[in-house]
């Protein structure tokens, strides 16, 4: 099974969560949901959480070792798949989908016996539709945009770019309906954007590019793109990413 691991943070009612998951599984859910119909949680109480309840650097290697140990056992027993982890409120929760066989209990017993030095608990329940993976772990469209933002910012930094330096940032959008196109252009112009050429996406949707001078820091691009998603939604359009030069 192909693996593409992503990481992002989520804030729910003031509680911060750091989420790591294999996003590739999303495309295969309909094929494997009946093979592994049980969601399994292995939960550890962190020894040295940060003030926000997340994982500290001091404990990162220990949690990674636990993660690797449990995944190796899962691969050895060939009874399920590891789908992700959640660090929140001083706890680390590892999530797996397993078969409905005796191997499920064997895996839980292994986790309790093998993981030493941690307050550990396990639980499992039927989840034949994989709703926990899709609703609890999988990013929302806005969270996906932040993931993409950080990918672009990381590439700029790797190229030696100073993210604090202002530069022209080019954005793309596509229309769900062009009924409000003129009003959208007026809105973006008022926000200081220059409207550029029309475009047609690979899926055949029409849209256009627009640009403005900004600083491509992680914080600024997250705030700006989430704002644009909300604005474009009002005008029946969909945000489609950004790009800029490395300076």
Rounded mean pLDDT of 51-60? 97
Mutual orientation of helices 218-234 and 141-158 as an angle, nearest 10°? 140
Please tell me the pTM assigned to this model: 0.90
Angle subtended by helix axes 57-77 and 102-114, to nearest 10: 150
- The residues spanned by each domain of the chain are 5-137, 141-244
- Answer whether 5-137 and 141-244 agree in fold: yes
What's the confidence (pLDDT) of residue 1?
A: 56
Q: What is the pLDDT of residues 64-98, one digit of tens each?
A: 999 999 999 999 999 999 999 999 999 999 999 99
Provide CATH code, domain 141-244.
Answer: 3.30.70.970
CATH number of this structure's domain 5-137, picked from the four choices 3.30.60, 3.40.30, 3.40.50, 3.30.70: 3.30.70
116 CB-contact burial (10 Å; exposed 0-12 / middle 13-18 / buried 19+): exposed
Span 197-224, pLDDT tens digits: 899 988 888 999 999 999 999 999 999 9
């Amino acid at each position: 099974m192909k693996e593409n691991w992503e990481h992002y943070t989520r804030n729910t009612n003031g509680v911060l969560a750091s989420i790591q998951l294999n996003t590739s599984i999303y495309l295969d859910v309909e094929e494997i949901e009946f093979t592994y119909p049980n969601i399994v949680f292995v939960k550890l109480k962190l020894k040295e959480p940060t003030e926000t309840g997340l994982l500290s650097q001091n404990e990162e290697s220990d949690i990674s070792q636990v993660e690797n140990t449990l995944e190796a056992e899962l691969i050895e027993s060939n009874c399920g798949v590891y789908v992700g982890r959640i660090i929140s409120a001083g706890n680390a929760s590892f999530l797996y989908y397993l078969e409905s066989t005796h191997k499920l209990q064997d895996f839980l017993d292994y986790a309790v016996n093998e993981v030493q030095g941690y307050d550990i608990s396990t639980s499992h329940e039927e989840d034949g539709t994989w709703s926990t993976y899709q609703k609890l772990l999988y990013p929302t469209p806005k969270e996906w945009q932040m993931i993409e933002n950080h990918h672009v910012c990381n590439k700029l930094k790797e190229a030696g770019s100073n993210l604090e330096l202002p530069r022209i940032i080019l954005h793309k959008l596509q229309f769900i309906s062009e009924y409000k196109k003129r009003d959208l252009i007026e809105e973006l112009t008022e926000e200081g954007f220059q409207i550029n050429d029309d475009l047609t996406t690979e899926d055949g949707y029409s849209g256009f590019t627009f640009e403005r001078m900004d600083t491509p820091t992680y914080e600024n691009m997250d705030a700006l793109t989430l704002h644009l998603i909300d604005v474009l939604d009002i005008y029946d359009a969909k945000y489609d990413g950004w790009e800029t030069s490395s300076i």
